[in-house]
Amino acid sequence: MVVMAARGCHFWFDDMTDEVLGLFPVPFLRAPATLAEPLLAGLVKTFSQRAVRDNNSSPQLSHTELLRPQDNPLFLEAAAAIGPKLVDFGALLFAERIGWSIKEMWVNVLDTGGRQAMHNHANSFISGIVYLTATDPSSRTVFMKSPGGTDFTFRNDHAGTTPTAFSADKWISPEPGPGDMVLFPSYLMHAVPPNAGARRITLSFNAIPTRLDSWGYAIQFSA
């Protein structure tokens, strides 16, 4: 399987005037230190013991119930810090700075050996992850192309290939620090490989816009 790590791409051609353009790219936002240390500590202390719901991907993965931000003051504080980033990211998706609200938040606890299977998030438009603890390099979030896409049906995939952003099936996200956040379109497939390190705790959430307007056909959303 072709995998591309989080690093820059350089393309060299005989004619140095040639230009390669990425058509219709998928946006992915990294926001370092979105949540400050006191809030991180509070979230870990409060919710790591409440992550008792099993996940069918792995017995070493559990999560809390899905909550609205207003259900807990720590979630409400986190949502206030995340909110402006949602507006920025939403402008990339819908070409307008519109209001956004977080419809649900939950905490995931991934112990040594645990993994998360490939999935995406339904009934939302922006999804996000805030890393509450350090993440072992083995369990960095991996993003991937959706199965059954519009790629060629015959691959050139062997030991001699050099994957690029245009040919890779998977992209390994950069190693995050505690408090770092990523935002991505909710349809984007992602997974977590087996965790070879210590316990990894993350805060996940889904967000929806206040409204969308397609030439007069408008829809209002409420969290």
23 found inside a domain? no
Q: Beta 189-192 vs 142-144: how paired, if at all?
A: antiparallel
221 found inside a domain? no
Closest CA to 145 of 120, 167, 165, 170: 170
4 found inside a domain? no
Residue numbers of the domain that contains 175: 28-147+163-211
87 found inside a domain? yes
- Say what the pTM is: 0.92
153 found inside a domain? no
37 found inside a domain? yes
2 found inside a domain? no
CB 27, CB 94: distance < 8 Å: no
Instruction: Identify the pLDDT of residue 201.
Output: 98
7 found inside a domain? no
Instruction: Identify the pLDDT of residue 14.
Output: 65
Return the DSSP state at 95: S
pLDDT in tens, the chain (223 residues): 556 665 545 555 666 778 888 899 999 999 999 999 999 999 999 999 999 999 888 999 999 999 999 999 999 999 999 999 999 999 999 999 999 999 999 999 999 999 999 999 999 999 999 999 999 999 999 999 887 767 777 888 899 998 888 888 899 999 999 999 999 999 999 999 999 999 999 999 999 999 999 999 999 998 7
Instruction: Identify the pLDDT of residue 18.
Output: 83
Give the CATH number, domain containing residue 69.
2.60.120.620
Number of domains in the chain: 1
Closest CA to 205 of 153, 131, 152: 131
For the chain, strand residue ranges (E) read: 3-5, 29-31, 53-55, 58-63, 100-110, 116-119, 126-131, 142-144, 170-172, 181-185, 189-192, 200-209, 211-214, 217-220
d(CA 184, CA 179): 17
Instruction: Identify the pLDDT of residue 15.
Output: 66
d(CA 110, CA 114): 6
